[in-house]
Structure 1
Amino acid sequence: MQKAISLRPGDADAKIMLAQAFYRRDDFQKAAAALSGVDVSRNKLIREQYPTLNVAMLESFKGQTPYELKGNGTSTRVKFVKTDPLPLVNVRINGGKEVIFFIDTGGSEVTLDTDFAKELGVPEFGAVQGTFSGGQHTEVRLGRIESLALGDWTVKNVPTAMLPLRQLSEGFGVKQIDGIIGTTLFYHFLTTMDYPHGGLVLRRKDAKSLEEFKTQSSGKRVTVPMWMASDHFMVGWGRVETLPPTLLFVDTGLMGAGVKLAESVINEAGIKLEQNKATKGAGGGGTLKIVPYTVHQLSFGDIKEENVPGLYDGPFPWEYMFGFYLAGMVGHDFFKPYAVTFDFQNMQIFLQ
């Protein structure tokens, strides 16, 4: 990227991709510097794919280590409060009392409910338009917290997003949802969502942890290569019915289904939408009409499931966003039989 910028100093997209590379390495000051001369508020690539590249937020971490881990041992395990409709965990923000967050790899940064953020006095650095299910959009505010505690570990200096989330509490069957844990926190660890045993396991992100994980893991393990698109979209090869292999997005926060496909894929595969069973549901951007369907054969890597429940809730906005074709997303019901481990060093997903 630096060579590309030296050849074309005015290339804003190259600067943005360099900034994102620094961002993933937690080098926020270099990320902010890379954005010099870029109209961040109007740039399409930032709006669509890298909305967390906010210069004021990045510069607020000067002299601090983002995602600084405090804690002993090689791992920590956090029991799920509930596994359905999505995994819920207890966390503590800024040393406060336990609150409930849900886990969603369809999300990027740790996200706080907007009212909860106000109660905490979280600083704000601006807002972006977030893209959600059905192609809906809503405002997402950007901030930061001093710490997030999970199990025996505490992660300090954490960027956050802010979004109205408490309105979703009833659908989760709990008194109050105060936030989301997304992919950006996860990629700082060797992370396992252990659905069968109801827990989240965070291991230190190093070769020793990976070796111990492979040694200690029992049973058959399937490895699926993955890539990261945009700032948090984990994608891997899968197959829908008898169509050719295609790329699918790993979205554990897809609730009430195992798959959500672009309308073009639904039509090409001859999948029938069950309009007579349509319901209303809540998404990050508002109310949605949700139409169920069934995928008779769905594969992700070498894992194949039959009669997977799917849902259609409107346009799939990420179908062509990243410069390659994305057919849909694989969600909660598909992954629930497995312990799913995300290895962000070697870019692979283990299912066992």
Structure 2
Amino acid sequence: MKRRFTFFISALPILIQYNFYAQPVISKLPLADSLYKEGQFEDAKAVYSEVIGEDPGNYKALLSSGKIALISNELNDAEDLLMKAMNLTPDESEAKQLLAEVYYRQDEFTKAVPLLHSIGKEIFAHKLESFRNKKPYDISDPEETIILKFVSTDPLPLMQLCVNKSEPLYFLLDTGASEVIINSEMADKLGVVQFGSDTGTFAGGKKADSQHGFIDSLILGQVTIKNVPVRLLHTVKFSAAAGGKKVDGIIGTVLLYHFLSTIDYIKGELILRPKNSDLEKKFKTISSYSSMPFWMSGDHIIVTWGKVNKSNPLLFFVDTGAAGFGFLCPASTIDAANISLSQESLEGIGGGGKVSLVPFYCDELSLGDVNQQKVFSAFGPFPEDLEYNQGFHIGGLISHNFFRPFSLTLDFSNMKIYLSR
């Protein structure tokens, strides 16, 4: 696997230089698919675009181009491409699923509903259908900057906020979560509107059911966000990540997506700015920062390029919720980075229950041009199917201990990550 990956990357410029325009459509598609699988999204996009130029009705090229536009958050382009793909093959479900994701990101829930019904996602469809006369994520003061101080920063950031005018509740912050999560034991008391459940995959590949729901309001500081879709999960088991406090819920990426979001580990606060905020002005006051592009698959799989030890560049999932660790990875990355594992094993807790893990240290771990040495890491909790289930290779999960010395900003409008000290 390692030898094949290295050869493919080194041969790529030759393939593009000498064969790109000469190849017929039928041979360009496998090249584009391979580029996509290895995370070379811009190169894959160029090849798919060439195919569409020669064959405007090519379903595979339209679908794959739509995927790339979606993960790049170019939602108008994604809608156009996926609509064309869906109209070409109305019986296929993948284009409908991806188009529903486009509308979900745009908070156009009513447009997503018929697509979800058509592919059998009835529970999710019913939840979004309940927003028919409501504006999702209706922010009381959209120009206000929200600053939430952490109650504690380690093992994971913990904050207080209110649900449906409740007393202050304890919420963890975790980009590895999608929608806001509410403790299922408190759902009735908090007045959460509940739908059915489905099964998700958590650390170690463990499965667990989570229920769909929505809440009337979420109060963060002086700002109220109305009409918020949520998931229900038994969150009390995460008390160790909250320093022993009872966990009432989790803030995930979908809420962060509605803002220019900064997790400031240094100052111990979450800053939610309006999406149109002037980042350049902010970073002119900072002497040291790095930026890097990212892509987002599904509703929270944020990936960007990094390296571990002397490995080739790999796409890493930015999941800040692995308490106590900076990096988790699959067996292929253990081999690629020449990591030696001990016989020692530990036990941790993930969303699906107890997880067995083998700890190790990365000699060097990097994200873009940001490097950290001797990062405490683990083998075992990385979900096995995550490595390829997004359609491209994910070589690891980069988490809390790596980001701890930084302020981490997620700019979903420009699809850039900023790290500053």
Q: For 1:51-76, what per-residue CA distance to the aligned partner results, in whole angstroms no more than 9, with x for missing partners? A: xx811001000111100101375312
| Partners of 2:283 and 2:289 within 8 A in 1 | no
Gapped runs of 5+ residues in structure 1? 42-52
Mapped contact 2:260–2:275 kept (Cα < 8 A): yes
Residue equivalent to 1:44: none
Give the AA of the match of 1:244.
Answer: N
Match of 1:21, SS state, is helix
Paired residue for 2:170? 100
Please identify runs of 4+ aligned residues in structure 1 that moved more than 4 A: none
Q: Distance in 2 between matches of 1:167 and 1:237?
A: 32
In the TM superposition, residue 152 of structure 1 has moved relative to its aligned partner by 1.8
Once residues 230 and 68 of structure 1 are traced to their aligned partners in structure 2, the CA distance between those partners, rounded to angstroms, is 22
Given that residues 175 and 320 in structure 2 are in contact (C-alpha distance below 8 angstroms), is that contact kept between their aligned partners in structure 1? yes
1:257 partner letter: F
Structure 2 counterparts to residues 193-272 of structure 1, below 5 A = 193-206=263-276, 208-215=277-284, 217-272=285-340
RMSD: 1.5
Is 1:282 aligned to residue 349 of structure 2?
A: yes
After TM superposition, give the deviation of residue 212 of structure 1 in Å: 4.1
- What are the within-5 Å matches in structure 2 for residues 101-250 of structure 1? 101-206=171-276, 208-215=277-284, 217-250=285-318
Offset of residue 280 of structure 1: 1.6
1:334 counterpart (375, 380, 402): 402
1:226-282 deviation per Cα after TM superposition (whole angstroms, max 9, x unaligned): 000122110000011111101000011011111001111112322122333x22221
Name whichever structure is richer in strand by fraction. 1
Is 1:295 the equivalent of 2:362? yes
User: Which of 90, 98, 105 does residue 9 from structure 1 map onto?
Assistant: 90
TM-score norm. by structure 1 comes to 0.92
When residues 72 and 134 of structure 1 are mapped into structure 2, their CA distance, relative to the original with a 3 A threshold, is: closer
Please report how far the alpha carbon of residue 36 of structure 1 lies from its aligned counterpart in structure 2 after TM superposition.
4.3
Task: Give the whole-Å Cα distance in 2 for the aligned partners of 1:289 and 1:72.
Answer: 43
Answer yes or no: is 1:35 the counterpart of 2:102. Answer: no
CA distance in 2, matches of 1:110, 1:349: 21
Residue pair 2:99, 2:112 contacting (<8 A) in 1 also: yes
CA distance in 2, matches of 1:188, 1:306: 33
Question: Partner of 1:310 in structure 2?
Answer: 377
Contact 1:261 1:316 in 2 (8 A): no
The one-letter amino acid of 1:155's match is I
1:170 CA drift (Å): 4.1
Q: Which has the larger radius of gyration?
A: 2
Does the CA-based 8 Å contact 1:133-1:316 persist in structure 2? no
TM-score (norm 2): 0.78
Displacement of 1:211 in angstroms is 4.2
**CA–CA separation in structure 1 for the residues paired with 2:282 and 2:223:** 19
For residue 264 of structure 1, give the secondary structure of its aligned residue in structure 2: helix
Aligned residue for 1:46? none
Could you tell me how far apart the structure 2 residues matched to 1:198 and 1:274 are? 34
* Inter-partner Cα distance in structure 1 for 2:163 and 2:278: 26
In structure 1, C-alpha distance between the alignment counterparts of 2:306 and 2:242, rounded to whole Å: 29
- How far apart are the structure 2 equivalents of 1:105 and 1:98? 22
Whole-Å separation in 1 of the counterparts to 2:336 and 2:278: 43
Looking at structure 2, the residues matched to 94 and 116 of structure 1 have their Cα atoms a distance apart, in angstroms, of 12
Please list the CA deviations of residues 283-331 of structure 1 after superposition, one character each: whole Å capped at 9, or x if unmatched: 1101111210011011101101111110122553300101110001100
Aligned residue number for residue 145 of structure 2: 75
SS of 1:254's partner is coil
Whose RCO is larger (CA < 8 A, sep 6+)? 1
**Residues 84 and 119 (structure 1), Cα distance of their counterparts in 2 relative to 1, 3 Å cut:** same
2:62 corresponds to which residue? Answer: none
1:25 is matched with: 106
What percent of counterpart residues are identical?
41
* Cα distance in 1 for residues equivalent to 2:165 and 2:287: 38
Cα distance in 1, alignment partners of residues 143 and 100 from structure 2? 32
Q: Which structure carries more helix by proportion?
A: 2
Matches of 1:211 and 1:296, distance apart in 2 = 33
Aligned residues: 338
